[in-house]
Structure 1
Amino acid sequence: MRPPYDCLTVRNWAWIGVCLMAAALGLGLLIHGLGQTSATYDEVAYLELAAHWWRTGDLETIGRMGSPMTFLRLQQAPTLWVLDLIGRGDWIDDPITHQAALLPVLRLGALWIWLAAFLVTAFWARRVYGPNAAAMAALIFAFSPNLLAHGGLITMELPLLLFWIVASLLFARFLESGDRRMFLGSAVAAGVAFSCKFTTILLPPILALAWVTDRLLLGDRRPIRLVTKVGGGMMIFGIVLLATDLIITGFATISPSARVGASHPALDGRFGPRVDPWLVWLSERKWPQDYVALGIQMLHQRSGGVSYLLGERRMQGWWYYYVIAMSVKVPLGFWLLAGGRMAASLRQLRLGWRKPTSDEVVIGVTLVTMLVLTALGSKRNYGLRYLLPLAPLAIVWVSKLAESARPWRKLAAIGLIGQVVAVASIHPYELSYFNILGGGPVGGRHILADSNLDWGQGARSLARIQHEEPIYHDLTTYYFGDTDPAYYGVIGTRHIIDAGAIQPNLPDRFAPSTRFVAVSASLQHGPWGPDDYFRVLDEIVPDRLTDDGTIAIYRIDAIRTERETSGSEEVATAGQSVLQPIGKLGDVLHDTRGIGLIGHFGGEVANHNVVLLPAQNLDGKVSLNRHGVELQQGRAVSMVGRTTDRDEGNHRPPIAVRPDITDVDRLPTIGRHGHNQPVAVPGRVDLITTP
């Protein structure tokens, strides 16, 4: 007797039809969104680097940036070949000028990587759990905002994701069957993944841990022998991985130091006259390019990076950053599926324990270990995209619900509906997606930034607003990105702020003269805007947001009204000497990059603590939000200091100032009553207040 019809049951070959339908829907969403956004921050560089490589064969620049090279070739080479073939080589010759037309075409040519990852995920679910699971995995993959967000970009994320899951799948096959071909195939796939993004260095230890775990669950009780066997096997895995990288990069080499034949300030005098020459020699030799790039990337990781979370900025990040990011960036429908999958597993455990399959071991160990490693080791919290390779594994894991009892299949249907609703609520701006807990893109502005929300992709949306509503032509734009938004049609005054520490073209004060001002979220709320530069906007409601939520537009009259209602007090006339000059700051009347007095007035500045301010830096009024006067370093001066104990006396140890940035050699610290006060730190120092 045929079982009653169940819309959640896909029998025989019908699951293939569901997968094909899901693939078509996902590709349709991606294609529709290709031209809706401007280039993200990273895409600007990759456009130019790929075009330069296509014309010259040179990819050394990307290695010096600390990035691998293969992802560029995989994503852009076929399309660049076609463009030359059809007579559009001028786009390749000047990719930045033609980026508005070139970018959607290159994104289209890279969609095969999303499709390949989609198929591998569905196949893995089919192999582990069955046809219903394959259909469910396909639908979740096609309606995942974060996979759609990065699937339509020419960045490292999707190439890494594809070869990460291929390596994981093949390794699981090896654990199950002992087939060494699967082992070698996994290592080769990991080598390709490594040449796409260096996050892959985490994969071999994760797979080694999965290997050990799988054998322990099988009853192996010889730990020393097991660890020795796994260690030897993973050494072979690593050798194959590195050899694969060498082969697919064409054995490209560069020297670790670009200063060949010149002095090396970072090495000279560091380890003594016997060691330094050897280090210089090694730094000037040619090494495999990706290995050198990995070393550069590790130095970047060690130094940290400016990160943003819940309104706070840090250089070293937070251990719980990715926990919060997942809680607000992953659809609640998927969390429902994950909770149901966990509950189903616990119920099964109560009924009787069974050994998980090798696939489940690889998936479980990867998910847990990756989350632990990123929590403990990541010092550069730039976005949830760093966890994107985990998405297909998590999808395969929850897809088992489609093969479970009817109550769990109903839960699976609800979760799938949640995924569809999540995409419908944000398409075609999936990069800006935040779930209900995060408050959508508007609430997300106060939680996360950068590639979680505003990665510089909002120029097209802003240009559409200006086209549809000419009143916004009189606009000053403070834009986070690495390209001029005018290439996408943005009109008016434009200040482009990238991720660099110094912004020489940015005015010292936020004082737009147009009727409207537009500010990118990663500047106003995120990590990349100058400290307190946009503070006046905090209590003002935007006139409107761009459709993707990345740029807020304000009326200047609203900003002026806010300024007029806030307290202020005359502290100095423009150009008045309130601090004594030490060293040489340049032409006082025209130098706008030196030390500037900002912040809050609470008394007179002591006469002996003075620096001459240029006229452009003072307008005679400082807001009275709290007590104290602050001295903030200008962007052209890099101060270095440490904390110390001192009395209320006149002892003022000097502050070291980088001589390559400014002519100032030394500055005195600013005294303040009390003990344990900082001598100086990059940023601001409170000054002494007197009655």
Structure 2
Amino acid sequence: MSRATRCTAALLLLAHGVLLAASIPQNSVTIDEVVHLPTGIAYWERGEFWGYHHNPPLIRLLFALPAVLVDVPTDYRGYEHRVHPRGMDCLLGRNFMLLNGPHYMLIYCLCRSVTAALSVIGGYFIFRWSRELFGDAGGLFSLGLWVVCPNVLGHGGLVTPDVGSAVIGFVATFQFWRYLRDRSSIRALWCGVLLGLVEAAKFTFVLLPFAWGLIALIALWRAGLREWIRCACHAGVVLFTSLMVLNNLYLGQGTGRPLGSFEFHSHTLTRPITGVHPAGVPSRVNRFRGTALENVPIPLPEHYVLGFDDQMYDADSGLYYNYLRGDLRRGEGHWYYYLYCMLVKTPVGTLVLVAAAVLLSLWSQCRADLVSEAVLIIPAVLFFVAISSRTGLNSHLRYVLPVYPLLFVFVGRLGRIAAARPFVQAILVVTVASNAMSVVRVHPHYLAYFNEPAGGPANALSHLADSNIDWGQGLIALRDWLEEHAPGQKIRLAYFGTMFPEVLGIDYEVPPFGPDAAPTWEDPGSVGPVPGLQAVGANYLLGIPFPTPDGTGHQIPVPLNAYTYYRNFEPVATPGWSIYVYDLKLQEVNAVRRELGLPLLSD
């Protein structure tokens, strides 16, 4: 590797770190972060893993470590063990927020730096793998795509497991690729360690052993019997080591429980009970109970198994609202949802280069060997298809983040062509630079990024919802806007998030619901639009129901379509592209109230 290549790679990694560091203090604590960090601290301090177990603990253990080392105070009052403890998690998150109010954002900024560091590490391994396959130019090109990817930048500065698990899964797959090139016992052992770590990071990666198995079959299809036996032994080492790592991370808690002893809730792991069921009696039961598998001990920690059941429940319960291009529906979503997400939330330059790489992969001079191509393609396709098939939870592009690093290495083949063609080099450099310009325009609010053909973040409501636009990250931008344009003024605020705005010093009250959400009322001013300065989370404008903080240290439920009436008005500002600010005058308010069939208001 030349000195110029090393310096360029180092500068790109530094730029990635700087972009993340600059965005971290500019985004308020998002919905899942409110619970992720305090439960991670609880893992360290209490040695129990039942809290918020619908994600495995590894990433939370990592980003909670700085808070534990500086001895951040935690309030465990009311935090009691339950089999399905989501209410307890919210209580712990609320207690943690109120206890650390003045230092709350500082604590999160400290812990978010761990995720940022993992993202930089991911960039290094993308460069390394792509360089080994496609040369120096390929490595730098793949790294450049990662450095300015808005979806990586958006989630790489949060205390959530998405980027961290994607990086660990990518590094594990890179190690597996190295094993296939040199099938040594040491490399098999490392594959086992990394597989155990990634299984302890996110449930998405339960698919990874199946992807590896399929790739191994491709690699061995012409091998002799001796090599098959050798690799089968190595597979045993990988699986055994991964189980040891996973169980040790859970401190061995509940390992070996019989499969039939679990109280599952998801449709995937339960079956209906026939007959009439009185109120309060479950109508479904563990599908393995009463079968030959009932007493089989499971070599997995109990809260890993129960957490997986929680994830399946989320996916198949039909309780979640899914939004795509003006269509808000509950339960069943769209099979093409994640494909659409990638098309509108990935920079145009990257999309063009992916298409070019796919076409050029048909040309032998641009292909890697068969096994290397399989290692890049099979896990990415398997993850994408599996996640797309769970249409009951069409909410978050972040679920397919594991696809991105593999995709960027795949596109690195374009660097091989560019190595001897200065004109092609110039095109690639300009493309990455155009991506950077597109992304910098939304800095530091990367979660709300949409590419230019989609209309940018200003047109976000026409496309997607949830963490793709508004995950509660816009409070700091709103506070800064208020300090500049309405200092000291109390506003009406419908904040789509779980952080309390009063922690940032925002003085507010909740605006009235619309007539569809408040069918009975006495005071005309208690329903529908009213004059004054008001701010509404983007997801509420789409009609999505979600509890909102009420300014008293609690939350109140917000019904379906409670705040869609705001779409009759033009916002005066959109801080962070996720909160819409309105300064409503009596005349325009009464015009809309007349259309809604509500009594007019007087001065």
The equivalent residue for 1:249 is 250
The equivalent residue for 1:541 is 570
Query: Structure 1 residues 545, 396: closer, same or farther in 2, change over 3 A?
Result: same
**Does structure 1 residue 100 correspond to structure 2 residue 88?**
no
Contact 1:510 1:533 (C-alpha < 8 Å) held by counterparts: no
Aligned match for 1:312, one of 307, 327, 346: 327
- Choose 24-33 or 112-121, whichever is displaced more: 112-121
The equivalent residue for 1:386 is 399
- Aligned-pair CA distance for 1:90: 7.7
- Aligned-pair CA distance for 1:287: 5.3
Deviations 1:218-269 (A, max 9, x none): x5799xx99999888766644433332101221133985599xxxx987668
CA distance in 2, matches of 1:496, 1:429: 28
Aligned match for 2:338, one of 308, 322, 328: 322
Query: Structure 1 residues 496, 336: closer, same or farther in 2, change over 3 A?
Result: farther
Aligned match for 2:508, one of 488, 492, 512: 492
CA distance in 1, matches of 2:393, 2:138: 36
Aligned match for 1:136, one of 135, 141, 144: 141
Aligned match for 2:46, one of 47, 53, 56: 56
Query: Structure 1 residues 267, 124: closer, same or farther in 2, change over 3 A?
Result: farther
> Greater CA radius of gyration, 1 or 2?
1
CA distance in 2, matches of 1:496, 1:161: 41
Contact 1:23 1:142 (C-alpha < 8 Å) held by counterparts: yes
CA distance in 2, matches of 1:243, 1:266: 39
CA distance in 1, matches of 2:13, 2:479: 32
Query: Structure 1 residues 485, 211: closer, same or farther in 2, change over 3 A?
Result: same
CA distance in 1, matches of 2:294, 2:220: 46
CA distance in 1, matches of 2:119, 2:280: 42
Contact 1:176 1:358 (C-alpha < 8 Å) held by counterparts: no
Larger relative contact order (CA 8 Å, sep ≥ 6): 2
CA distance in 2, matches of 1:344, 1:524: 43
Structure 1: which amino acid aligns with 2:561? D
The equivalent residue for 2:63 is 75
Aligned match for 1:32, one of 5, 14, 22: 22
Deviations 1:305-335 (A, max 9, x none): 3221112123122100011100000001111
CA distance in 1, matches of 2:285, 2:121: 50
- Aligned-pair CA distance for 1:215: 4.0
- Aligned-pair CA distance for 1:533: 2.0
The equivalent residue for 1:410 is 426
The equivalent residue for 2:10 is 20
Contact 2:39 2:51 (C-alpha < 8 Å) held by counterparts: yes
**Secondary structure in structure 1 of the residue aligned to 2:392:** coil
The equivalent residue for 1:459 is 475
Deviations 1:334-373 (A, max 9, x none): 1122122223223x24x7x977243222002222232222
CA distance in 1, matches of 2:296, 2:187: 37
CA distance in 2, matches of 1:136, 1:271: 52
RMSD over aligned CA atoms reads 3.8
The equivalent residue for 1:675 is none
Query: Structure 1 residues 238, 487: closer, same or farther in 2, change over 3 A?
Result: same
Contact 2:315 2:390 (C-alpha < 8 Å) held by counterparts: no
The equivalent residue for 2:541 is 524
**Secondary structure in structure 1 of the residue aligned to 2:454:** coil
Structure 1: which amino acid aligns with 2:409? V
CA distance in 2, matches of 1:56, 1:221: 51
Query: Structure 1 residues 316, 564: closer, same or farther in 2, change over 3 A?
Result: closer
Structure 2: which amino acid aligns with 1:306? Y
**Does structure 1 residue 47 correspond to structure 2 residue 41?**
no
- 5+ residue gaps, structure 2, are 77-94, 256-260, 266-277, 518-522, 547-558
- Choose 190-199 or 88-97, whichever is displaced more: 88-97
Query: Structure 1 residues 424, 181: closer, same or farther in 2, change over 3 A?
Result: same
**Does structure 1 residue 300 correspond to structure 2 residue 314?**
yes
Query: Structure 1 residues 68, 565: closer, same or farther in 2, change over 3 A?
Result: same
The equivalent residue for 1:186 is 191
CA distance in 1, matches of 2:237, 2:50: 29
The equivalent residue for 2:390 is 377
**Does structure 1 residue 443 correspond to structure 2 residue 448?**
no
CA distance in 2, matches of 1:356, 1:496: 62
- Aligned-pair CA distance for 1:489: 2.5
Structure 2: which amino acid aligns with 1:423? V
- Aligned-pair CA distance for 1:464: 0.8
CA distance in 2, matches of 1:567, 1:493: 23
Structure 2: which amino acid aligns with 1:176? R
CA distance in 1, matches of 2:163, 2:130: 19
- Aligned-pair CA distance for 1:300: 2.3
- Choose 233-242 or 374-383, whichever is displaced more: 233-242
Aligned match for 2:591, one of 562, 579, 594: 562
CA distance in 1, matches of 2:328, 2:200: 31
Task: Give the TM-score taking structure 1 as reference length.
Answer: 0.69
Aligned match for 1:366, one of 363, 379, 387: 379
- 5+ residue gaps, structure 1, are 1-10, 502-506, 569-618, 622-691
**Secondary structure in structure 1 of the residue aligned to 2:570:** coil
Instruction: Kindly tell me the number of residue pairs found equivalent between the two proteins.
Output: 533
The equivalent residue for 1:597 is none
Structure 2: which amino acid aligns with 1:43? E
